[in-house]
Structure 1
Amino acid sequence: MDIFQLLKIFSIIKIILFNFLIRYGKSEINPVVIVTWDYPNATQKAWKTLYAEKRSALDAIEESCTLCEQMQCRGTVGFGGNPDENGETTLDALIMDGVTMDVGAVGGLRNIKDAISVARKVMENTKHSLIGGELAADFASQIGFKKETLQTQKSRDIWQKWKNNNCQPNFWENVSPNPSLSCGPYKSSNQASSKVKRDTSLVDENNHDTIGVVALDVQGRIAAGVSTNGQKYKIPGRIGDSAVTGAGAYADGEVGAAAATGDGDIIMRFLPSYLSVELMRLGVAPTAATETAVRRMVKYYPKFRGAVIALNKAGEYGAACHGLDSFPHYIANVNTGEAKEFKVPCLLTKKD
């Protein structure tokens, strides 16, 4: 038996022992929250909810994402940011309870600002997991949320500048007229798919698609959540990974939680949040789990830009990224005392 097998066995025993101590009240839980990107205010809000107010991990997720929605974090979360091809801002969000394994999500939510809170209502007040589009707005309105425009002058100006630039960049391919030169309307063409074009990412520092939050509360409960207004200039109707369980986020109360951020159209094809949690179930440390999840995507999409964060039941955490110089994220626990920024260097693409 080699050292890696021994470490794996040790990690599994540690998780089993930790769960046993929690169940029989013999262990004091130190809460932890991790938030993607440089959102210190959102992290501090979650930390206050967990530590000072002793509220649940679910509450911390909702409070954190709600604050980012209200602050319009970087224009990639909440109203008034990242317009689609029609100039409209729509929202995706997901929240998952690791104790019950219940999920609530909204995709392409229109004219409702409170995406994460609507997602929680889907989880708590319906037997569904995902509601989308205009009908999701009707559901939200019925249950008490206010319908109002998600467009602002800033988002209109962003859209108009894009429109004046021949709608560049956009997400069309294998259509005519040439989408790199024209705004369309487009028709499908018989042109073969180009590998180079297929692997071109439009994600950058200001178009990274999400705030992701994972949390462990004082009672040992795990939860995860995400919120976003999606990718800038997306084709109307596009829904990203933030509405997909196991892609944007995943939580299992017996193991831990993870959340992903970046190119959502790639992320949803590999379920990196689910994969990270399953690897931790097998005893893999959070950092190694996220690295494996990221490398799985990079294997097929070498230009992938994004990151994954993970937290296990013992309060250990990790993160991995690709396509950037480094990945900033915020962590708050009893050791940091408040929201503190951490950065991890991104993985390098392995050469053939």
Structure 2
Amino acid sequence: MTTNFSLAIVSCYFLVIISLSCAVGNDHKLPLVINTWPFTVATRAAWKVINSTSGTPLDAVEQGCTACEVAQCDGTVGYGGSPDESGETTLDAMIMDGTSHDVGSVGCLKRIKSAISVARKVMELTNHTLLVGDEATRFAISTGFKQENLHTNKSVGIYKSWLENNCQPNFWKGVTPNPRSSCGPYRPADTCQSLDCKQDTNHDVSSDNHDTIGMIVVDKNTIAGGTSTNGANHKISGRVGDSPIAGAGLYVDKDIGGSAATGDGDVMMRFLPSYQVVESMRLGMSPKKATTEAIMRIKKYYPHFNGALIAVNMAGEVGIYIHCNSFKNHCNVN
């Protein structure tokens, strides 16, 4: 096992939809840390834990995702980014133990910065899996977390610019006034015209607004995974994406491996792609083939979506597949 991190870290940059950062031991197999996007601050933090004598994959995942939350990775993880249409930043996060299959997650978490750590408390202190909104905030406070303002000058500026641009883009459809040119409040339209009632899955999914961190840590005994994000920019208030949904944003199994997703969560969560990848690997597929098949299932119904999957099996083999629709000139697609 290497102890020199500069020799252990590998960053593979696939712009727009996914970048993969990974750290591995001397045999280039295990232990292993991978995460979406070039968030090497997270990879380094997780590697420091798993490369210690007492660090577990769960601990490594929590510390890795926490590092990204503190660093506000690309402004799309943690506080101070991606304000919703009311101007508030809310957080989604999940952590999963591949041995017990225990999961803790939070959605639309408000006024608490440490989303991944709150998710772990949900897993360890309750029999529930997912807590959301103000109730998740109350739970966090009751277990020792400090309530804080998640706004920053940057997030306030993003929100003001959006209002000045007639609330464009947004996630409404089939309403009046026309959501493609006006702010709300909206009400259901009596009739649908043009594309107003069709779902627009071609939102600006980019490194500015969809860089969910999905992290998987594997050692010779087990596996754990976690996610953290502040969600889609200008999302409708109350929206929860795929990141805190087991099987959608992430899934791990100590007998098989794990997978994590990034991209258009509203579309991807409908197919539970991370679970699908793990089940495909269970049937003998390589991580690369399994991620490819899962993305192709989504593409069949939503050809214009943007998204990607990473996967690793318990032998330390890594695979990724990327589907870039809107930004092909900037995306290194497989």
Question: Structure 1 or 2: larger helix share?
Answer: 1
Structure number with bigger Rg: 1
Alpha-carbon spacing, 1:136–1:326, altered in 2? closer, same or farther (3 Å): farther
Q: Is the 8 A contact 1:209 1:263 kept in 2?
A: no
Residue 83 to residue 53, structure 1, CA distance change in 2 (3 Å): farther
2:319 maps to amino acid? G
8 Å CA contact 2:74, 2:211 repeated in 1: no
1:19-168 equivalent positions in 2, closer than 5 A: 30-168=30-168
Gaps of 5+ in 1: 1-28, 328-343, 348-352
Partner Cα separation in structure 1 for residue 199 and residue 123 of structure 2: 38
Q: Deviations over 1:194-247 (max 9, x none)?
A: 486533233122122410001102x42111110000000000000000111100
- The residue number in structure 1 matching 2:204 is 202
Tell me the CA shift for residue 54 of structure 1: 4.5
1:270 corresponds to: 271
Q: Which residue of 1 aligns with 2:3?
A: none
The answer to whether residue 245 in structure 2 is matched with residue 258 in structure 1 is no
Q: Secondary structure at the match of 1:198?
A: coil
User: Which secondary structure state, in structure 2, belongs to the residue aligned with residue 268 of structure 1?
Assistant: helix
Distance 1:143 1:197, change over 3 A: closer
Matched position secondary structure for 2:51: helix
The reply on whether 1:305 has 2:306 as its aligned counterpart is yes
Q: Distance in 2 between matches of 1:100 and 1:83?
A: 35
Kept in 2, the 8 Å contact 1:224–1:251? The answer is yes
Deviation at 1:52, TM superposition (A): 3.4
Q: Gapped runs of 5+ residues in structure 2?
A: 1-28
Aligned-pair CA distance for 1:117? 0.2
What is the distance in 1 between the residues matched to 2:213 and 2:295? Answer: 17
Question: Contact between 1:272 and 1:294, CA under 8 Å: does it hold in 2?
Answer: yes
- CA 230–130 in structure 1, closer or farther in 2 if over 3 Å, else same: same
Could you tell me how far 1:325 is from its partner in structure 2?
4.5
Letter of the 1:200 partner, please give it. N
Deviation at 1:96, TM superposition (A): 0.5
Q: Larger RCO: Structure 1 or Structure 2 (Cα < 8 Å, ≥ 6 residues apart)?
A: 1
Alpha carbons of structure 1 residues 242 and 202: separation in structure 2 relative to 1, 3 Å = same
Supply the distance in 2 between the matched residues of 1:208 and 1:184 (Cα, whole angstroms): 24
Amino acid at match of 2:123: M
User: Between Structure 1 and Structure 2, how many residues are aligned?
Assistant: 302
Deviation per CA, 1:230-272: give whole Å up to 9, x if none.
0000000000001111001001111111100011101110111
Instruction: Specify the code of the residue in structure 2 equivalent to 1:316.
Output: E
Q: How far apart in 2 are the matches of 1:38 and 1:326?
A: 19
CA RMSD in angstroms, aligned pairs only: 1.7
Q: Residue type matched to 2:209 in 1?
A: N
Map of 1:213 onto structure 2: 215
> 1:16-44 CA deviation, whole Å, 9 max, x = no partner?
xxxxxxxxxxxxx8201111011111111
Match of 2:20 in 1: none
Contact 1:257 1:311 in 2 (8 A): yes
1:319 alignment partner, SS class:
strand
Contact 2:91–2:115 (CA under 8 A) maintained in structure 1: yes
SS at match of 1:320: strand
2:333 counterpart residue number: 346
Query: What is the alpha-carbon distance in structure 1 between the residues aligned to residue 190 and residue 218 of structure 2?
Result: 51
- Counterpart amino acid of 1:346? V
Identical residues among aligned pairs (%): 53
Amino acid at match of 1:168: Q
Partner of 1:232: 233
Q: Which moved more, 1:186-195 or 1:143-152?
A: 186-195
8 A contact 2:174–2:198 mirrored in 1? no
Report the counterpart of residue 25 of structure 2 in structure 1.
none
**One-letter identity of the residue aligned with 1:319:** I
In the aligned structure 2, how far is the partner of 1:215 from the partner of 1:145? 25
Task: Give the distance between the partners of 1:196 and 1:209, measured in 2 at CA.
Answer: 26
